[in-house]
Amino acid sequence: MISTLQIRNFAIIRELEISFHPGLSVITGETGAGKSVVIEAMSLALGSRADKSMVRMGTDRATVFLVLEPETILRREVSGHGKSVCKIGGEIVTLAQLGEAAAGQVDIHGQYDHQSLLIIEKHLGLLDAYGHEYTAAALKKTADAYLRFRAAKQALDTAAAHGAASARELDFLKYEMDEIDAARLRTGEDEELETSVRIMRSSEKIYEALSHVYALLSGGDGELASALSLSGGVRDILAGLTTYGSEFEQMANAGAEAYYTLEELEDNVRAALERMEFKQSDLDAALSRLDQLDRLKRKYGGSIEAVLIHREEAAARICGAENREALMADLARALTDAEACYLAEAGTLSEIRRAVAGKLERVITEQLEELNFKEARFAVQMESSEAARTEQGFDHVEFLLSANKGQPLLPLAKVASGGELSRIMLAFKSVIGDFDGVETMVFDEIDSGISGGTASIVGEKLLRMAAAHQIICITHLPQIAACADHHYLLEKSTSGSETFTTLREIKGEERVDELARLLGGRHVTGKARENARELIALARETKSEYRTNV
């Protein structure tokens, strides 16, 4: 989530700092005030291309700070010569590293690069996420089958590549096997031993603490009544009150439960005290065993699991050398079986995806129609190739769109630009915004070319998404601005020969005046203010449908 944006000497902005919040934030202002410049600065901080024209006239560099929660500070500097410097938390990084740090956190929809929906490689995952109730089980089976297929292929390839082992190699492999077998390894034993050693080395402190607890529970020190006896007394007294009503019955039940809890705790503490008895030889034996395990782990891969895998690989190598032809035939059969299983599971997954794709096509087309794309066609292009095998199956998915009648289906990035693309992205985000993992969405020019009726629908969709995401939207339509949780006003001012832009949050009557300006133009009338208040009230009612405590 974007928490803070700071801009210095960027285009017409001299200096600007603003804090953003969860929910729906809108930015309004008069034409030419620099609304899109703010979004362009965000895009620069997230890793878009820099240009010397971004530097404010008369200054030597432009700087943009963007703070993403939790405490990721992105900084971008552009000099008057066009040279760009990228920083993360004060450390200079490459543009690619800056983009990596911001990837998947913010989508900017408009004439900008940071739109995850335009990344074709993400379309398959979005389709699966949208239809997760149908695809999840098939994906798991496909992934498991792929891992078995890959392991079988690797085993056959390894056996074929190694060829027959020499007698000397076999002797060495047998020595390693014997060494590992003699250790009688057990997964997790090293962690158990480390825990035991820690306890034994701190046994005196632990025993003293447990003894004190046991004394408090059982009254073993003879000084005071025990916690257990006190609890029993409470239980018995409350039990005698149960005939006076359900309130006392509940108290009696609670008292009995507390007593039995303490009784069980006393038993556990006593058992722990009995287990604390050990000899120095126990500690020596544990340390000696740990030393043996550490030596084997250092020698054979760093963990007990790696040691055991090494042992199996050595056994397979010996077996392969002793009976190479039979082994190769077995490995080939195992690969054939694993391949057939994978192709079957991936085929089933592919069929499920096609059904989910049909549903997604219908739902997104409906969303586009609501946003005044009456002739739009959306399609999920899905190509399957058994040669393209991955854990996700063998399908390639790409989202295609025809925004207007007579236009062919094209990749999303080639369909439209500006406000039209923003509305198209809004339609997509309305359907799959909960599945793509992007927390913050920024919409620029989203109201370009739409009427008040469509604007109300846009505002409603933004409100709905803002219940679970941070939404920032530039708009000039009052129907959208009225829906805001936070309303920011961008103003252009002059001082001497300089022109500069400021951005601040507005509330109360000042916000009513701004909505009235959007409704009625430069001259704000009483009627326009009345209409503005009505829009805010209607938006508040809409919010209550999607959120609690509005």
Alpha carbon 105 to its chain centroid, in Å, reads 9
Helix axes 123-130, 324-370, angle to 10 degrees: 80
SS3 for 166? coil
Of the candidates 16, 27, 25, the one whose C-alpha atom is nearest the C-alpha of residue 445 is 27
pLDDT tens, position by position, 124-162: 988 998 899 999 999 999 999 999 999 999 999 887 776
**Residue 319 Ramachandran class (φ > 0 left, ψ -120 to 50 alpha, else beta):** alpha
**Residue 406 Ramachandran class (φ > 0 left, ψ -120 to 50 alpha, else beta):** left
CATH of range 2-111+418-546; options 3.60.110.10, 3.40.50.300, 2.30.40.10, 3.40.47.10: 3.40.50.300
486-495 and 498-506 strand pairing: antiparallel
Q: pTM for the full model?
A: 0.61
Amino acid identity, residue 436? D
Q: What are phi and psi of 219, to 5 degrees?
A: 80, 25
Of all helices (H) and strands (E), which one includes residue 244? none
Q: What burial class does residue 377 get, using C-beta atoms within 10 Å of its C-beta: 0-12 exposed, 13-18 middle, 19+ buried?
A: middle
pLDDT tens, position by position, 378-422: 999 999 998 889 999 999 999 998 888 888 998 887 875 555 677
Alpha carbon 158 to its chain centroid, in Å, reads 38
Of the candidates 308, 87, 309, 97, the one whose C-alpha atom is nearest the C-alpha of residue 183 is 308
Q: What is the mean pLDDT of residues 115-129?
A: 85
Q: Per-residue pLDDT for 292 more than 70? A: yes
Q: Per-residue pLDDT for 102 more than 50? A: yes
Radius of gyration from C-alpha coordinates of the chain: 34
pLDDT tens, position by position, 149-207: 999 999 998 877 766 556 678 888 899 999 999 999 888 888 888 888 887 767 667 76
Domains in the chain: boundaries: 2-111+418-546, 153-324
Distance CA 43, CA 66 (A): 10
Is the dihedral angle over the CA atoms 101, 39, 363, 546 positive or is it negative? Answer: positive
